[in-house]
Amino acid sequence: MEVLIHTIEKVCVLITVTVVLTGTRFATRLFRRRPAPRDHAIALVLFFLFAAVEEIIAQQHSPMDARIIAACVAGLLAGPWVGGGVGIGSAVLALVWQGFPPVGYGLAMVLGGIAGGLLRGRSAGNALRPGIGFCLAVGASLSRYILAMLFDALWEAGRPPLSLAMELQTALVNGLGVALILTVVQQMRAREEQAKATAMAEVRALQARMNPHFLFNALNTVAALSMTNPKTVAPAVARLGCFLRASLDRPDQTLIPLAEELAVVAAYLDIEGLRLGSRLRVEESIAPEARPVLVPPFLIQPLVENAVCHGIHPARDGGLVSVTAELVGATLRITVSDTGVGFDSAARRGMGMRGSGDASPPHALQLLERRLRNLYGSDASRLWVESSPGQGTTARVSLPLEPIPDGAPGFP
């Protein structure tokens, strides 16, 4: 009965640790195709600490050995270097703490971590299947008994302290432990994919809700230019085509480099400049290190469109639209401001900034805020707008930095 209680306690610890870790942004980064070295280092420390806690409470024996589980899961989630490192660290810690662990036990932990990492390298998707994890943990657990018997036969290195029947029981329980962790991980990934699908649906909704008057006004501008200044028609049509291609035919991408989004914004402002002439002035201040940072598509364009349509266009003398982007620590900060007419709280509905009791359909800024919440969580990103009548409007966005994938396409 005591053994069963200790096993249940360890299962509860496994579930708690897994749920906590899978709710962090670190877990999201770790499941990418190529995690950053920093994420590998964090994974190594976390899994080693997990194995260390098991070593400290190892005197309360139960069939579940969290050291084997930690090494196997580390390899399956983070690769062979992390899995092998956790196995080596666990073996050294066992040697220091207990003083006499069989050599086969240490090798089994190292081999389990490396084997899990090799499985991840071969097929990351299959490596996260609970059945694969179960087989890996069972194999690693049984291998320690086989290795211990082999070393004892060759060099009398010490027989395994448990019988074969007990080792079989331990192997099965360890396999169930790894399978349990991977089940929780798969559920987390399913929620993440659902959030991405929701975000992409709202990207398409934002594209569909783009103000059709912009296209009509752009075409009217081109028609007028063909009569008054024919030389400007070709560049105007080219910029319109650039904007429409980016806004309508872009593949379903959750994140794009900031430089691509700025190219879309530039095309939009060029066309609005043809319509508004000298009434529209534009300033841009983008930190070079911010240009390759990944951001959601249509992050800046709705803010700029609001600045032009609701700030500059109603102003008799027009005004200035300013776009800035900078890195502040691990955060990207984007600011879009204008010197237009501004607005008060009663005008928020037209800007798409409505209260929770408003049943009207969502507008661009609301869709943008939802996308940011889906992609980054409610606490990691911020979008806020400040404005006063006659004083212009300032919109700010704060996002956590995202690593840049290899071969990220440039804007055509």
Helix/strand/coil (H/E/C) assignment for every residue in 348-403: HHHHCCCCCCCCCCCCHHHHHHHHHHHHHCCCCCEEEEEEECCCEEEEEEEEECCC
Contact 287, 258 (CB under 8 A): no
177 burial (CB, 10 Å; 0-12 / 13-18 / 19+) is buried
Q: What is the DSSP letter of 407?
A: T
pTM (2 decimals)? 0.57
Burial 178-213 (b: 16+ CB within 10 A, else e): bbbbbbbbeebbeeeeebeeebbebbeebeebbeee
Alpha carbon distance 27, 43 (integer Å): 9
Q: What is the DSSP letter of 347?
A: G
Architecture of the domain made up of 2-193: Orthogonal Bundle (1.10)
- Residue-level pLDDT at 2: 60
- The 10 Å Cβ neighbour count of residue 391 is 13
- Kindly state the tokens that stand for 226: 């063909």
Work out whether the CA dihedral 327, 330, 336, 342 comes out positive or negative: negative
Question: What percent of the chain is helix, strand and coil (3-state, nearest 5)?
Answer: 65, 10, 25
- The 10 Å Cβ neighbour count of residue 217 is 18
Side-chain-side CA neighbours of 334 within 13 Å: the count stands at: 26
Q: What is the pLDDT along the chain (412 residues), one digit of tens a residue?
A: 565 566 666 667 767 777 777 666 666 666 665 666 777 788 788 877 877 776 666 555 555 567 788 888 888 888 888 888 888 887 787 777 765 555 667 788 888 889 988 888 888 778 888 899 899 988 888 887 787 777 666 666 555 555 677 778 778 888 888 888 888 888 877 887 787 777 767 766 665 665 565 677 678 778 878 887 788 888 888 888 877 777 666 656 778 899 989 988 998 898 888 878 889 999 999 999 999 999 888 889 889 988 998 899 899 889 999 999 999 988 999 999 999 888 765 555 444 443 333 333 446 677 788 778 777 766 778 888 888 888 899 999 999 886 444 333 333 3
Give the CATH H-level superfamily of domain 209-400.
Histidine kinase-like ATPase, C-terminal domain (3.30.565.10)
Contact 368, 302 (CB under 8 A): yes
Alpha carbon distance 203, 210 (integer Å): 11
Domain with CATH 3.30.565.10 in the chain: 209-400
Residue carrying structure tokens 């994890």: 133
Domain with CATH 1.10.1760 in the chain: 2-193
- The 10 Å Cβ neighbour count of residue 15 is 15
Alpha carbon distance 163, 28 (integer Å): 41
What is the residue type of 72?
C
